[in-house]
């Protein structure tokens, strides 16, 4: 069998259409959804991600406030900026682009963000709600993956899902979201033994290693009919590549996400959705769970 390509761009566009409509409704009520972006340091990749996020916002009618801090910024100055944004009634969402420069403590900075403006869903409060199955603001990449399953009517109930990643941005929150969908979830990571055996037992594999020189998910690791979600991005020669050997894995799988055009657009779309949710929360309107 040959599997189907999951079209992340099409699904992201459908999310963006819904966000655009929700933004228009909020504006009718006098609420102008606004995302504050914070970029600390001179990481070029981070700068281009932030620019893309701002462009996405303008496409759906969300305004942005751009904060750029030099590499030398102190933890205290960054915390003061977040405090200012927490108290700014015109700002509904705060996005601190990660990774932060090494001299800053990521956990303490994230912890300072008001949970109701935490459009990354990364504060301990929102991560705790996620573990309870009650989060409103969920991390963007994992919730984007769930949106793909819903769109393609991929039922996770009773399925064995293997996640190759344990980060706070992807693997940990995705574990809870897939459990919520009644999957049996195994989290694999750099110290996991017999990774191939785990993968061969999986009905769904989500891989997020992001270093093709270290790891490739190959056809012989994927059982017939499995769903494969590729979150990894790395350079292979002069091309962008995922973790998955796409051309061969699709021969075994039922569905595979491509890189680019799979999970990436979904991560960006879910940030917009979270910003609308945060703007709604700010006015006591909570449209969705």
CA-atom Rg of the chain in angstroms: 19
Q: Which of 16, 53, 159, 273 is catalytic?
A: 53
Nearest alpha carbon to residue 168 among 201, 114, 127: 127
**Is the CB of 96 or the CB of 227 nearer to ligand GUN?**
96
> Are the beta carbons of 36 and 94 closer than 8 angstroms?
yes
**Is the CB of 202 or the CB of 276 nearer to ligand GUN?**
276
- Determine how β-strand 239-241 pairs with β-strand 234-236: antiparallel
> Are the beta carbons of 8 and 267 closer than 8 angstroms?
no
CA 30 vs CA 24, 27, 53, 207, 285: distances in Å? 10, 5, 23, 42, 13
Question: What are the tokens at 233?
Answer: 């991005």
**Is the CB of 109 or the CB of 250 nearer to ligand GUN?**
109
- Told to judge if 97 belongs to the known catalytic residues of this protein, a careful annotator would answer yes
Smallest separation (angstroms) from ligand GUN to the CB of 102: 15
**Is the CB of 2 or the CB of 52 nearer to ligand GUN?**
52
**Is the CB of 35 or the CB of 202 nearer to ligand GUN?**
35
- Told to judge if 219 belongs to the known catalytic residues of this protein, a careful annotator would answer no
Instruction: Provide DSSP, 195-208.
Output: HHHHHHT-SEEEE-
Smallest separation (angstroms) from ligand GUN to the CB of 159: 25
Place of tokens 């900075």: 109
Smallest separation (angstroms) from ligand GUN to the CB of 119: 9
> Are the beta carbons of 199 and 221 closer than 8 angstroms?
yes
Contacting positions for ligand GUN (CB under 6 A)? 95-98, 120, 140-141, 169, 267
CA–CA dist 276, 25 (Å, integer): 10
What is the 8-class DSSP label of residue 257?
-
Q: Which of 97, 118, 159, 203 is catalytic?
A: 97
**Is the CB of 141 or the CB of 254 nearer to ligand GUN?**
141
Q: Which of 56, 118, 120, 230 is catalytic?
A: 120
Which residue number has the CB closest to ligand GUN?
98
- Told to judge if 4 belongs to the known catalytic residues of this protein, a careful annotator would answer no
Smallest separation (angstroms) from ligand GUN to the CB of 152: 22
Angle at alpha carbon of residue 120, lines to 114 and 122, rounded to 5°: 70
Q: Which residues of 61-86 are buried (b: 16+ CB within 10 A; e: fewer)?
A: bbbbeebebeeebeeeebbebbeebb
Smallest separation (angstroms) from ligand GUN to the CB of 95: 5
Smallest separation (angstroms) from ligand GUN to the CB of 150: 20
Residues classed as catalytic: 53, 97, 120
């Amino acid at each position: 069998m040959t599997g189907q390509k999951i079209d992340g761009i099409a699904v992201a566009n459908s999310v963006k259409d819904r966000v655009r409509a929700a933004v228009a409704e909020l504006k009718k009520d006098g609420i102008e959804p606004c995302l504050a972006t914070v970029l600390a340091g001179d990481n070029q990749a981070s700068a281009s991600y932030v620019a893309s996020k701002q462009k996405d916002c303008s496409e759906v009618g969300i305004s942005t406030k751009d904060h750029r801090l030099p590499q030398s910024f102190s933890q205290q100055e960054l915390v003061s900026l977040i405090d200012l944004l927490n108290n700014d009634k015109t700002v509904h969402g705060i996005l601190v682009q990660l990774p932060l420069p090494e001299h800053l403590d990521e956990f303490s900075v994230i912890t300072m963000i008001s949970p109701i403006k935490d459009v990354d869903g990364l504060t301990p409060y929102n991560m705790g709600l996620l573990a309870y199955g009650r989060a409103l603001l969920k991390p963007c990449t994992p919730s984007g993956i769930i949106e793909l399953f819903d769109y393609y009517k991929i039922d996770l109930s009773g399925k064995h899902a293997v996640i190759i990643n344990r980060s706070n941005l992807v693997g940990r929150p995705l574990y809870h979201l897939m459990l919520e969908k009644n999957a049996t979830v195994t989290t694999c990571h750099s110290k996991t033994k017999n990774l191939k055996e785990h993968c061969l037992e999986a009905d769904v594999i989500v891989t997020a290693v992001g270093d093709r020189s270290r790891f490739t998910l190959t056809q012989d690791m994927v059982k017939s009919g499995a769903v494969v979600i590729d979150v990894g991005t790395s350079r292979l020669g002069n091309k962008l590549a995922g973790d998955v050997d796409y051309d061969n894995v699709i021969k075994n799988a039922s569905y595979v996400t491509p890189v680019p055009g799979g999970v990436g657009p979904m991560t960006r779309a879910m940030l917009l959705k979270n910003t609308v949710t945060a703007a709604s929360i700010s006015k006591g309107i909570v449209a969705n769970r």
